[in-house]
Amino acid sequence: MEPKIGAHVSISGGFVKVLDREEKLGGNCGQVFVHSPRVWSFGDLTDEEAEEFRKEYKNRGWGPILVHSNYLINLATPKPDLFKKSVETLKEELKRAGKLDMEYVVFHPGSHTGSGVEKGIQSIVQGLNMVKDTIPEDTKLLLENTAGKGTSLGKDAEQLEKMIEQSELTFEETGICLDTCHAFSAGYNIHNKEGLNKFIDDFDSRVGWENVKAIHLNDSKHPQGSEKDEHEHIGEGEIGEKGMKQIVNHPKIKEKPLVLETPVDKEKGYKENIEEVKKLLDR
């Protein structure tokens, strides 16, 4: 089976252009924001634009295209106004994903900002319950693991398991997206074989590996356990070329969509990083 590799691309000019952008990078899956990631407001999405995208997306015969949620969303917050905005924004993103036939909406669970881990998790559980009825039939809401800096929640399988287990959502509606940079920065020793297998076993035993629906494939600018979320080009960070090669060739990871969120700078962008992943893959 051809590996699924892609990157996060812009929706500038309309959603249908996402597909051409992805293919120009050498991708066959990918990720988008359905509105600006740093504001609460949404632009127009007409029925005609959505229909055009759905038709062309089906014609391409590849995917999935993930929706990455707004950066402002924080379901763990103790602030009522921010919690309300977060829930309403996540609901609208889920509606748009359904309208576009996009299979997954990925979001960061949030930061408790001082209220404590348990209260933060309970707030996330409440938020998940509130968006449950908005999740489209063919779309799943994916919780993403975090690097764990400060008061952010979701740095390990145990915390993510609690969020899902204590909510009303089932695995028909939800799942997990794993970020390799976040996992490494959170302390998982994924750059060697034994540590990578332990990482996979941890998620398999707690949430079921079949419920891990996508991988954000990123190297890390910072050392293992740093809790710093800063992505690096594939093979050029602290995970390194050897570690990334091991990750992309692990049979339980290479079966998942691999979506890059690596830097875009003067030297390299997504196209070069996708090419690097393909070079690392054992054929």
The pLDDT tens digits of the residues spanning 140-163 come to 999 999 999 999 999 999 999 999
Supply the pLDDT for residue 258.
Answer: 98
pLDDT digits (tens, 9 = 90+) for 99-143: 999 999 999 999 999 999 999 999 999 999 999 999 999 999 999
Residue type, 5: I
Quote the tokens at residue 214: 């996508």
Q: Whole-prediction pTM value?
A: 0.97
**Number of independent structural domains in the chain:** 1
Mean pLDDT of the chain: 97
In the block, residue with structure tokens 């829930």: 87
Q: Show the domain range for 41.
A: 5-280
Task: Kindly report the CATH number assigned to the domain that includes residue 257.
Answer: 3.20.20.150
pLDDT digits (tens, 9 = 90+) for 215-267: 999 999 999 999 999 999 999 999 999 999 999 999 999 999 999 999 999 98
Supply the pLDDT for residue 282.
Answer: 86
Quote the tokens at residue 17: 């252009």
Supply the pLDDT for residue 1.
Answer: 75
pLDDT digits (tens, 9 = 90+) for 267-283: 899 999 999 999 999 87
Q: How confident is the model at residue 28 (pLDDT cuts 50, 70, 90)?
A: very high
Quote the tokens at residue 177: 């997206």
Quote the tokens at residue 2: 């051809």
Supply the pLDDT for residue 267.
Answer: 87
